[in-house]
């Protein structure tokens, strides 16, 4: 049985060096900002995202790439699964974590061109 190809998807992974959650953006870079993610809306585009994930995982830029399926909600595209909504937003409880220190907001390092 062939795998169902979702429409309306982005691809996510973790950055190899620090584990940060990243999304492939429309410039072809892995970006920590979901708002910049490249949204595939046809089976061909979804396949292209998957191929890119596999390729960059092989090049040791990112780890564990997978597709996140989206749907429209109140005019915005959001992941269908709560799991992925939490992945994008981060832990929902950080305000209550004793001593939590947010990481400094840094420019995303450009990891796209790192040599394999």
Partner 1 sequence: MYRYDEFDREFVRQRVAQFRGQVARRLSGELTEDEFKPLRLMNGVYLQLHAYMLRIAIPYGTLSSRQMRKLAHIARTYDRGYGHFTTRQNLQFNWPALKDIPDILDELADVEMHAIQTSGNCIRNVTADHFAGATAEEVADPRTYAEIIRQWSSLHPEFSFLPRKFKVAVNASDADRAAIKVHDIGLQLKRVASGGLAFDVYVGGGQGRTPLIAKLIKEDLPEEHLLSYLEAVLRIYNLEGRRDNKYKARIKILVHELGAEPFAAQVEAEWERIRNGALKLPQDEIRRIETYFALPVLRSDLPKAKLSAPDRGFERWVIRNTHTHRHAGYAIVTVSLKPIGGVPGDASAEQMDAIADLAERYSHDEVRVTHEQNLILPHVAKADLPAVYKALKAIGLAEANAGLATDIIACPGLDYCALANARSIPISQAISERLAAKQDVIGELKIKISGCINACGHHHVGHIGILGVEKRGEEHYQLLLGGSGAESTALAELTGPGFGPDGIVDAVETVVDTYLRLRRGPEENFLSAYARLGMQPFKEALYVAEAA
Between 44 and 51, whose beta carbon lies closer to partner 1? 51
Q: Which of 1-9, 37-45, 48-56, 74-82 is the region at the interface with partner 1 (rule: CB under 8 A)?
A: 74-82
60 is a site residue for partner 1 (CB under 8 A): yes
100 is a site residue for partner 1 (CB under 8 A): yes
Q: How far apart are CA 13 and CA 90, in angstroms?
A: 14
48 is a site residue for partner 1 (CB under 8 A): no
Phi/psi region, residue 60 (left: phi>0; alpha: psi -120 to 50; beta: rest), is: left
80 is a site residue for partner 1 (CB under 8 A): yes
Other Cβ atoms closer than 10 A to 85: 14
Q: Which of 11, 16, 37, 68 is the binder for partner 1 (CB under 8 A)?
A: 16
Q: How far apart are CA 12 and CA 9, in angstroms?
A: 10
Q: How far apart are CA 15 and CA 63, in angstroms?
A: 6
Pairing of strands 21-24, 9-15: antiparallel
The secondary structure element, H or E, covering residue 76 is: strand 76-79
Instruction: Give me the least distance between CB of 93 and partner 1, in Å please.
Output: 5
Between 48 and 57, whose beta carbon lies closer to partner 1? 57
Contact residues toward partner 1 (CB under 8 A) are 14, 16-21, 57-60, 63-64, 80-83, 86-87, 90-93, 96-103, 115-116
């Amino acid at each position: 049985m062939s795998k169902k190809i979702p429409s309306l998807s982005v691809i996510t992974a973790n950055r190899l060096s620090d584990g940060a959650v990243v999304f492939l953006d429309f410039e072809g870079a892995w970006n920590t900002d979901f708002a910049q993610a490249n949204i595939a809306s046809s089976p061909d585009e979804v396949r292209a995202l998957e191929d890119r994930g596999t390729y960059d995982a092989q090049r040791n830029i990112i780890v564990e790439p997978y597709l996140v399926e989206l749907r429209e909600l109140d005019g915005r595209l959001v992941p269908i699964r709560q799991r992925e909504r939490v992945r994008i937003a981060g832990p929902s409880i950080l305000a209550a974590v004793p001593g939590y220190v947010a990481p400094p907001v840094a420019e995303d390092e450009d990891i796209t061109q790192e040599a394999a």
